[in-house]
Amino acid sequence: MLWQRWKSYTQRSTLVFRYKEFNPCPQLTPFVKCYWMLESNGEVLITDKILPDGCIEMIFHFGEQFVKNKNNAPERVDRFFVNGQNTIPFTLSPTGVSYLIGIRFFPYGAWPFVHVPMDELTNKFVSLEDLYGDNANQLTEQLINEPPGDRRIQLIEQFLLTELAKSKWTVDPVVNKLVSWVYSDKSKLNLHRFAKEIKYSERQIRRKFMDTIGINPSLFIRVVRFREVLRQLNNGDESELLGVALDSGYHDQSHFIRDFKNFTGQTPTEYFRETHIMARNFF
């Protein structure tokens, strides 16, 4: 398998985690952006903020359970789940050793495998057992019995290929074209003009987007634009924040700060004062 990148993070000379990304098999490249692995020895427990990013993830966790929103309505997170589109931030707190394998789908990539309208998963963690029943239990039992390594990824890929073969999924050129438009020109999405061009009603397009992506086109453009600002500022000069925001399509400072607060729960000054390992380093 082709590793795309490997990162580690230490604090006071103590390893906090290792993170790896790598590519899916050719049959799954239209759907899966990447696989990733994250492992930590649990010696340093850092609560991290997870921000909206426009993608959907399937997670397999072989360590101690995470706690979601530990300081506000805490809940233990199932070890094997799908996290739908997020439109608000949340925190994940480890309780010990972590070893995760994640599948990061393209925005429209999860639908063929999950077999339900994607808006039913928005802002939710849904267990694999609830989605796949005994098939999920068989898979997770196999994964648990395998030692850490590529064999686990191979089992997950076999599972995805089986689900894809059972799916009634077909390419939706409307959704694919609109997603491509959003990523190529984050500041000028005009749904009315797009609908007129492809001879669909705006209502039809929104419904397709909700079913396939999980959120409406207007919210998706906001998430993608916000993430572009964070990407450009990654390891950069935060004093350039407003200029980057305006270049990314925000009308003015108040427009940018409003979206920033919605997606992080903080002002830019508050956010960049803290360390956000996952949110700021992995795109």
* Weakest mean pLDDT among 77-81, 111-115, 194-198, 224-228: 194-198
| Closest alpha carbon to 143 in 17, 41, 58, 46 | 58
Which domains does the chain possess?
Answer: 3-166 (2.60.120.10), 173-281 (1.10.10.60)
Statement: residue 187 has pLDDT above 60: no
Identify which has the larger pLDDT, 283 or 268: 268
Statement: residue 13 has pLDDT above 70: no
Statement: residue 276 has pLDDT above 60: yes
Mean pLDDT for the stretch of residues 195-202? 85
**pTM higher than 0.85 for the full model?**
yes
Distance of CA 246 to the CA centre of its chain: 25
* CA–CA separation, 263 and 210 (whole Å): 19
- Cα–Cα–Cα angle for 128, 131, 137, nearest 5°? 45
Q: What is the pLDDT of residues 237-249, one digit of tens each?
A: 566 777 888 777 7
| Six-digit token string for 15 | 């390893």
Q: What is the pLDDT of residues 17-32, one digit of tens each?
A: 788 888 999 999 999 9
Statement: residue 9 has pLDDT above 70: no
* Contacts of the segment 9-14: beta carbons below 8 A, 24+ positions apart: 9/277, 9/281, 11/44, 11/46, 14/43, 14/44
At 241 the pLDDT is 78
